[in-house]
């Protein structure tokens, strides 16, 4: 093995490309590394919630620390810990980037959002009431913060229709229209319960299939044995009835 | 990609106030990601901001007996990014508490992390109220 580090990205052009920039003797470098392993571990922990095993991150951070010691130039007047922190965070971020983390993360959020819809429905049936966020977190194996995040992001996709409506009714319909807006569904079902009970069983079933199970009108038509057009009409009529029978949404006192 | 919904524009301001407790810093992070999403930051920048806001809160809490106070988070949309301040507002000042060596070290680390994640940051102490702030610009979209 040769000692060259060709191809290793340099943080600045101060040193020639590919040149080793270590200005410290090996003993000094080793001391810096051992003294700052705790720093590397702390920084790795800051990134642990992004879903990579902590051990891997500690390894990436430790390598970043070694790189920092090799590149550190004490004459620059920057303290080592500041330089190392920046380098290590750079390495951690690159690690996530190389693994296509951003793409996977947004996919994961979307998947979790869908999963939450199903979890809400199944927990709701099992518990006989709507689940809490803590219960959803346990059911899906995601943390509470991740659950809240996913609910928020999921709603974001629909936010324009919610935000542009002016009346309460419009807001409700927009929320019903979000197939699995678990959090809103929790709230809305409480309000909807009594109104829903006034509908014929078939209409209730259709609403459930459409908005809880997220089935298409054609799928529902096949189940119920009517045309898709008829399902559409029944849905419209049911929503109108619900609107008429809905109690006023009680907003937080203020 | 999905449209993140109604965007926020320069000058829009969002404020959050909550009891100054470490376990509630999650609120600051959640609001930050909601705001950053609507301000057009990409997913990686958003994670940086969440991390940075956590450090900001730690800095604001630092060296204080904050059990009775509130943390106030203020996010202001700028033309090219976002400015965030986090201040500790204490119900009553119980004299200056000297930060311990551990706290000093933690604050130092937080500041170094901020340096790596955001464009500018700082911290001031006024009348017993600590105020930590940061500014982060959006990455220019390539192409």
Which pLDDT tens digit goes with each residue over A40-80?
A: 999 999 888 777 889 999 999 999 999 999 999 888 888 89
CB contacts of A105 in chain B (<8 Å) are: 43, 47
Give the number of domains in chain B. Answer: 1
Residue B89 inside a domain? The answer is yes
Which pLDDT tens digit goes with each residue over B57-90?
A: 999 887 666 567 899 999 999 989 999 999 988 7
DSSP state of B69: -
CA of A20 to nearest chain B CA: how many angstroms apart?
A: 23
Residue B61 inside a domain? The answer is yes
Taking an 8 Å cut-off on Cβ atoms, the answer to whether B116 and A156 are in contact is no
* Pick from A11, A146, A132, A138: nearest CA to A67: A11
User: What φ, ψ does residue A85 adopt, rounded to 5°?
Assistant: -55, -45
Taking an 8 Å cut-off on Cβ atoms, the answer to whether A148 and B2 are in contact is no
Average pLDDT score, chain B: 84
Q: Where are the alpha helices (DSSP H) in chain A?
A: 26-35, 37-46, 54-71, 80-98, 101-127, 133-140, 144-156, 159-164, 168-177, 182-197, 201-207, 217-224, 228-245
What string of DSSP letters covers A108-167? Answer: HHHHHHHHHHHHHHHHHHHHSSPPPHHHHHHHHT--HHHHHHHHHHHHHTTHHHHHH--S
Among B5, B44, B112, select the one facing A81 at the smallest CB separation.
B112
Strand partners, B75: B14, B84
Residue B26 inside a domain? The answer is yes
> Can you say how many angstroms the Cα of residue B131 is from the centroid of all Cα atoms in its chain?
10
Taking an 8 Å cut-off on Cβ atoms, the answer to whether A97 and B44 are in contact is yes
Calpha distance A116→A179 (Å, rounded): 11
Residue B3 inside a domain? The answer is no
Calpha distance A183→A132 (Å, rounded): 9
**Contact with chain B for residue A90, Cβ under 8 A:** yes
Q: How far is CA A188 from CA A126, A137, B6, B39, in A?
A: 19, 20, 22, 29
Calculate mean pLDDT across residues A130-151: 86
Three-state DSSP at A11 gives coil
CATH code where residue B51 lies: 3.30.565.10
In which residue are the tokens 């997913």 written? Answer: B43
Calculate mean pLDDT across residues A184-189: 50
Which pLDDT tens digit goes with each residue over B11-30?
A: 999 999 999 888 889 899 99
ipTM over 0.90: no
Return the biggest CA–CA distance within chain A: 83
Residue B122 inside a domain? The answer is yes
Q: Which residue in chain B has the smallest CA separation from A104?
A: B43
Among B4, B43, B113, select the one facing A85 at the smallest CB separation.
B113
Residue B143 inside a domain? The answer is no
- Residue B126 is part of which domain span? 13-137
Residue B126 inside a domain? The answer is yes
Residue B43 inside a domain? The answer is yes
């Amino acid at each position: 093995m040769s000692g060259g580090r060709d191809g290793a990205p340099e943080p600045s052009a101060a040193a020639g490309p590919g040149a080793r920039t270590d200005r410290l003797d090996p003993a000094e470098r080793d001391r810096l590394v051992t003294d700052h392993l705790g720093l590397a571990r702390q920084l790795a922990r800051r990134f642990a919630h992004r879903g990579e095993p902590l051990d891997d991150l500690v390894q990436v951070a430790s390598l970043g620390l070694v790189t920092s010691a090799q590149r550190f130039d004490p004459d620059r007047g920057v303290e080592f810990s500041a330089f190392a922190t920046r380098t290590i965070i750079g390495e951690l971020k690159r690690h996530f980037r190389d693994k296509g983390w951003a793409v996977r993360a947004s996919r994961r959020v979307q998947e979790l959002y869908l999963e939450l819809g199903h979890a809400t429905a199944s927990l709701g049936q099992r518990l006989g009431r709507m689940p809490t966020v803590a219960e959803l977190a346990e059911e899906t194996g995601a943390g509470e913060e991740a659950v809240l995040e996913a609910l928020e992001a999921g709603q974001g996709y629909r936010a324009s229709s919610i935000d542009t409506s002016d009346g309460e009714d419009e807001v409700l319909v927009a929320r019903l229209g979000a197939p699995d807006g678990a959090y809103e569904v929790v709230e809305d079902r409480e309000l909807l319960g009594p109104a829903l009970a006034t509908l014929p069983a078939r209409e209730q079933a259709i609403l459930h299939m459409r908005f809880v199970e997220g089935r298409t009108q054609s799928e529902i038509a096949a189940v119920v044995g009517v045309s898709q057009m008829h399902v559409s009409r029944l849905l419209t009529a049911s929503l109108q009835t619900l609107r008429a029978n809905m109690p006023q949404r009680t907003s937080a006192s203020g | 990609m999905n449209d993140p919904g109604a965007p926020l524009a320069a000058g829009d301001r969002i404020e959050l106030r909550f009891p100054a407790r470490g376990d509630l810093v999650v609120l600051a992070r959640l609001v930050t990601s909601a705001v950053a999403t609507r301000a057009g930051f990409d997913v990686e920048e958003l994670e940086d901001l969440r991390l940075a806001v956590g450090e900001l809160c730690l800095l604001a809490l630092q060296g204080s007996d904050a059990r009775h106070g509130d943390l106030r988070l203020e996010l202001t949309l700028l033309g090219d990014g976002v400015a965030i301040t986090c201040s500790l507002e204490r119900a009553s000042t119980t004299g200056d508490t000297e930060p311990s060596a551990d706290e000093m070290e933690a604050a130092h680390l937080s500041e170094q992390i901020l340096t790596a994640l955001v464009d500018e940051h700082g911290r001031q102490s006024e009348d017993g109220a600590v105020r930590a702030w940061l500014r982060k610009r959006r990455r220019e979209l390539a192409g």
